Structure 1
Amino acid sequence: METSERARLDAYFGRVASRFTPDERPASFLITHLLPERPAFVRGVATVSELCAVLPKPKSVHASALRQIEADGHACDKLSRELFADPARALRYIENRAAGRPVVLLDVGGYFAPSLSELCDRFSGRIVGVVEDTENGHRRYAELGKLPCPVVSVARSPLKDPEDFLVGQSVVFSTEALMRSRGDILHGRTALVIGFGKLGSSIARLLHAKGVRVTVFDIDPVRRTQALSQGFTVARALADGLEDAGLVLCATGALSLRGEDFGRLRNGAYVATVTSSEDELELAGLPDVYERATIGENVTRYLTTGHYFYLLNGGNAVNFLHGASVGPFIFLVQAEILAACAALARGSLEPGIHELDATDRAAIAATWLDYFNR
């Protein structure tokens, strides 16, 4: 990132933060992808809250971003699902960093969800609330039922629509790049897109534009009707779609393929995901008879007698191989996260899932246009 671009980004987040910084700043824990532009966002979080720790998503840590965040004086702790899957362990961690303080948890993927009730009940301070960035995480909190604190979700915000569309583009780009590295192309293939949400629908349309025959599978009958209305073939069952697909793109944010599903893949099929393998793929459920071999950079062949398929980027988000860039549109979502943190700090939200006020979203969009529509 050029010096002028970095200065503009810091100015943008400074202006956003000046609008949304609460009178009394809570402590915060930030889960985030550490991409090259992320330090400016982290500084924004540290303005609207007292940032106790950054927890980088383990498969998307850019070394220079990590160095910059640590140089800014912020602690970076190791993130895993296991850290917050055990409520006692999660409580010890939060107590160690922020004992007795009001705390906002800034999440990407529902990491805090398994321990949220315990944290709200037993933490020596107070869990003010959670901000969640992804559809996967939104569902994890919704599945808890009666929430012990407010959760502000930006996952379904209209400010996130440009990001979702561009993430779809980056997923298709990276998938095609890895296939071409082996002399294969997208054109003329049949693809199965699992999940027809905002990301999956974007991927399906982009693949179709590249001459790919696209089949869609989604467990939601409403989304299946949407896919049909847009001209896609819809598989009645996952197995039906898998057997005919030369490319499988998993875009549910939840478990797309179980261990037994891999055996139904066509010989030579490529499998790619839009999020981490721990969410989308039950790789541990694969039969032991499959031999794994790296046959190209970020391409793994799974082989057993009479059957083989290729897994891209170890089953992790394929677009992170090429920076996962969505340009300045990501800054809309990050600004909404800052505003959501401030909304929680004001203390007026009841337990449950909330969205940011439309007036605040409009203010964010107007600020973004001032800086990036040039």
Structure 2
Amino acid sequence: MESFERARLDAYFARIAAQFTPVEQMASFLVTHLLPERPAFVRAVATMTRLTAVLPKPKSVDAAARREVEQTHPVDPLSRERFTDVDSALDYFESRAAGETVSLLDVGGYFAPTLADVHNGFTGRLMGVVEDTENGHRRYEDLEKLPCPVISVARSPLKDPEDFLVGQSVVFSTEAVMRDRGDILHGRPALVIGFGKLGSSIARLLHAKGVQVTVFDIDAVRRTQALSQGFAVARDREAALTGAGLVLCATGSVSLRGEDFSHLRNGAYVATVTSSEDELDLAGLPHVYTRTQVGDHVTRYQTTGHYFYLANGGNAVNFLHGASVGPFIFLVQAEILAAIRMLTGNDLPPGIHEVPAPDREAIAATWLSYFNR
């Protein structure tokens, strides 16, 4: 990032932080993709909270960004196991913020499994969670009872540009990976599993490139949406897998289980929009499959009479090329800062909440003044 771009970004976040000054300053734990532009957002979080630790998503860490953040804040390893075990989660929070008022800034529902136990057992006070993704939104929504407010920006209209551009970047990276092996998109019928914001973006770009696209989604409403946009909609997932030369998984919650892989067409490519642990049940794949690295980012799975290719180990394929969505990501990050202010107001009941429309309007107006030039 050029120095003038960095200065403009810091000025933008300073303006946002001033607009949403918290009632009181809490400690915070920040889960994030530590991408090249992310230190500016980390600095913004640190102006609004006492940033206790940064927990970078394991498959999306830029080395230079990590070094920059480590100069001012602890950077701790992130794993689902740490926050699945109650004792492990409590020990971690106590080691970093014992007795403090805390907010959790999440990407993917990492804190969800032990949230109630942490809320009840922590020596400090857990004010709430801010969640960034649809996958994480569902993880919190599925809890039997939320012990604190969860502010989700996953379904915000300010996230629509990011979701659209992420879908475009997934297609770009998938095609790049295939071309590295001498393969191309054309001539391969594609199956898009999941027709949410990401899946619909992926399907539209594939169609624009002349690829035959079929959609599968368990949601009947989304199936009607796909049909209205001119896509074939699979009635039977097994049959759809058999006919697809490219499968793009965009559900956030296990698109393919172990038994599904055997239905893939020989030579089919599989790529995902999120981590393999969320999108693919690779552990359930029959042990008769052998794995061979056949390219920088392609693994061949083979057994007698059957083989398929997996891009980027099943993790988000677009992260191979930086996963950049340009300045549009700063809309969502600003909304996360607005959500922090909401948690400090101390008047939100337990449950799922969203940032009010007037705050989103203010964020959009500020963003336009800095980036629509």
User: What is the TM-score normalised by the length of structure 2?
Assistant: 0.99
Q: Which residue of 2 aligns with 1:86?
A: 85
Separation in structure 2 between the aligned mates of residue 212 and residue 296 of structure 1, nearest angstrom: 24
| Structure 1 residue 19 displacement after superposition | 1.3
| Structure 1 residue 222 displacement after superposition | 1.1
Deviates more, 1:330-339 or 1:231-240: 231-240
Deviates more, 1:333-342 or 1:228-237: 228-237
Q: Which residue of 2 aligns with 1:52?
A: 52
Instruction: Name the SS for the 2:138 alignment partner.
Output: helix
CA distances 1:57-94 after superposition (whole Å, capped 9, x unpaired)? 000000000001012x1000000000101112101101
| Structure 1 residue 15 displacement after superposition | 0.8
Paired amino acid for 2:289:
Y
Separation in structure 2 between the aligned mates of residue 188 and residue 17 of structure 1, nearest angstrom: 50
Separation in structure 1 between the aligned mates of residue 7 and residue 174 of structure 2, nearest angstrom: 33
Separation in structure 2 between the aligned mates of residue 205 and residue 23 of structure 1, nearest angstrom: 44
Instruction: Name the SS for the 2:367 alignment partner.
Output: helix
Is 2:65 aligned against 1:65? yes
Paired amino acid for 1:321:
L
Q: Which residue of 2 aligns with 1:36?
A: 36
Separation in structure 2 between the aligned mates of residue 237 and residue 256 of structure 1, nearest angstrom: 14
Separation in structure 1 between the aligned mates of residue 21 and residue 83 of structure 2, nearest angstrom: 28
Gaps of 5+ in 1: none
Aligned residues: 373
Give the alignment of 1:307-322 within 5 angstroms.
Answer: 307-322=306-321
Aligned 8 A contact 1:86 1:115 in 2: yes
Separation in structure 1 between the aligned mates of residue 309 and residue 186 of structure 2, nearest angstrom: 18
Separation in structure 1 between the aligned mates of residue 214 and residue 333 of structure 2, nearest angstrom: 33
Separation in structure 2 between the aligned mates of residue 284 and residue 188 of structure 1, nearest angstrom: 31
Runs of 4+ in 1 over 6 A off after TM superposition: none
Give the alignment of 1:1-374 within 5 angstroms.
Answer: 1-71=1-71, 73-374=72-373
Separation in structure 1 between the aligned mates of residue 97 and residue 263 of structure 2, nearest angstrom: 49
| Structure 1 residue 107 displacement after superposition | 0.3
Paired amino acid for 1:159:
L
Aligned 8 A contact 1:32 1:56 in 2: yes
Instruction: Name the SS for the 2:113 alignment partner.
Output: helix
Instruction: Name the SS for the 1:324 alignment partner.
Output: coil
User: What is the TM-score normalised by the length of structure 1?
Assistant: 0.99
Paired amino acid for 1:42:
V
Separation in structure 2 between the aligned mates of residue 44 and residue 26 of structure 1, nearest angstrom: 14
Aligned 8 A contact 1:188 1:211 in 2: no
Q: RMSD over aligned Cα, in angstroms?
A: 0.7
Separation in structure 2 between the aligned mates of residue 52 and residue 342 of structure 1, nearest angstrom: 17
CA distances 1:253-299 after superposition (whole Å, capped 9, x unpaired)? 11110011000000000000000000001111111111111111101
Separation in structure 2 between the aligned mates of residue 361 and residue 27 of structure 1, nearest angstrom: 24
CA distances 1:216-237 after superposition (whole Å, capped 9, x unpaired)? 1111111111111111111112
Separation in structure 2 between the aligned mates of residue 239 and residue 345 of structure 1, nearest angstrom: 49
Instruction: Name the SS for the 1:147 alignment partner.
Output: coil
CA distances 1:290-339 after superposition (whole Å, capped 9, x unpaired)? 11111111011011110000000000000000000000000000000011
CA distances 1:186-209 after superposition (whole Å, capped 9, x unpaired)? 123200000010000110011011
